[in-house]
Amino acid sequence: MEWILTSETSPLEALLLEIRACRICRDAPLYGPALPHEPRPVLRLTPTARLLVASQAPGIRVHASGLPFDDRSGDRLRDWMGVDRETFYDERRIAFAPMAFCFPGYDAAGSDLPPRRECARHWHDRLFALAPNIETVLTVGGYAQDYHLARFGLAGRRLPMTQVVRNWRDYQDASPKVIPLPHPSWRNTGWLKKNGWFESELLPVLRAEVARLTSH
């Protein structure tokens, strides 16, 4: 969904326009070298969405398409959530806000760099203050877990990712509710095999919650 700024633009719409025009990491970086490519912020948030997918940062394929999780990780995440592509990309029902809105580039070994910290500093608190209807946040990976657990005053911030996910029951009474997930990268297949409780205990709860929030 794209908006043009007018006198009737809501505060959320205006902020999304600001974020999509952001060039801080390229033109005035605060943490490390400048972003080595043209920024393309990827996020989705509408007033009606009740479920937020909070992840790390777009990969190169998502940078090219502009669609959140438009890659093999997205295939696995949709399977975890029990939704099809149509539901997954229905902005009325599901929001996406990674810790860094733009692809951060590669390190010397060819792996994705960590999320740029400028996004959280400049945008995240303002963005989520304008999203009061979010009932549940899926925190995908350690960076999102650190930020959102701290935002809601929940224990678990800066614990190892496995421990945070294993403690998922501790976050069910929060408002919004938090469901922590590992990153759905295929590189984590070994982790999933070692931690069978994730599929047997957490995924049924995740799918039920997603169904509840996207059934309208």
On whether residue 4 sits in a domain, the answer given is no
Residue keyed to tokens 């902005």: 91
Strands (E), the chain: 51-54, 94-96, 136-140, 177-181
Closest CA to 206 of 159, 139, 161: 139
Determine the Cα–Cα distance for residues 140 and 188; give it in Å rounded to an integer: 12
Confidence of residue 4 (pLDDT cuts 50, 70, 90): low
Question: SS3 of 158, please?
Answer: coil
Confidence of residue 155 (pLDDT cuts 50, 70, 90): low
Alpha carbons within 13 angstroms on the beta-carbon side of residue 55 total: 21
Residue 117, both tokens: 């910290």
On whether residue 32 sits in a domain, the answer given is yes
- pTM for the model stands at 0.93
Q: What is the mean pLDDT of residues 16-39?
A: 95
Q: What is the mean pLDDT of residues 32-55?
A: 96
pLDDT score for 153: 84
Determine the Cα–Cα distance for residues 87 and 111; give it in Å rounded to an integer: 30
On whether residue 31 sits in a domain, the answer given is yes
Q: What is the mean pLDDT of residues 136-144?
A: 96
Confidence of residue 3 (pLDDT cuts 50, 70, 90): very low
pLDDT score for 33: 94
On whether residue 6 sits in a domain, the answer given is no
Residue 135, both tokens: 């009932």
- How buried is residue 49: exposed, middle or buried, by Cβ count under 10 Å (0-12/13-18/19+)? buried
pLDDT, tens digit (0-9, with 9 covering 90-100), for 82-111: 999 999 999 999 999 999 999 999 999 988
pLDDT score for 158: 75
On whether residue 3 sits in a domain, the answer given is no
Number of structural domains in the chain:
1
pLDDT, tens digit (0-9, with 9 covering 90-100), for 161-188: 999 999 999 999 989 999 999 999 988 9
On the question of pLDDT at 79 being above 60, the answer is: yes
DSSP class per residue in 10-72: -HHHHHHHHHHT--HHHHS-SSSSPPSS------B--TT--EEEE-S---HHHHHH--TT-SH
Determine the Cα–Cα distance for residues 94 and 104; give it in Å rounded to an integer: 24
On whether residue 150 sits in a domain, the answer given is yes
Q: What is the CATH number of the domain that holds 136?
A: 3.40.470.10
Q: What is the mean pLDDT of residues 18-34?
A: 95
On the question of pLDDT at 6 being above 70, the answer is: no
On whether residue 2 sits in a domain, the answer given is no
Domain that holds residue 164: 11-214
Determine the Cα–Cα distance for residues 41 and 15; give it in Å rounded to an integer: 13
Which residue would you say has higher pLDDT here, 159 or 156? 159
pLDDT score for 7: 54
Confidence of residue 141 (pLDDT cuts 50, 70, 90): very high
Q: What is the mean pLDDT of residues 152-165?
A: 83
